[in-house]
Amino acid sequence: MESFWGSVKLMLFIYALAAAISLITAWMIKYIFVVIRMQKSRAEARKSAKAANAPTQGGAAPKGTA
């Protein structure tokens, strides 16, 4: 009976370890996607800022500067 209880303890330990590793992996993947989303929004903001600051075609000055 003692070896049976030992195997149950081992099984519970392995199950808890696998659950912890699974949760940590899921959090890491979620964090990676959050970082990618943040970088994408940052790149879009830079792109729109460049477009707003770019001179208009024909060399004309933006409104309100002349």
pLDDT of 33 > 90? The answer is: yes
Q: Look at residue 46 in the predicted model and tell me its pLDDT.
A: 86
Does pLDDT of 34 surpass 90? Answer: yes
Token match 């519970």: residue?
12
Residue 51: band (very low, low, confident or very high) from pLDDT cuts 50, 70, 90: confident
User: What pLDDT, on the 0 to 100 scale, is given for residue 17?
Assistant: 98
The number of CA neighbours under 13 Å toward the Cβ of 15 is 6
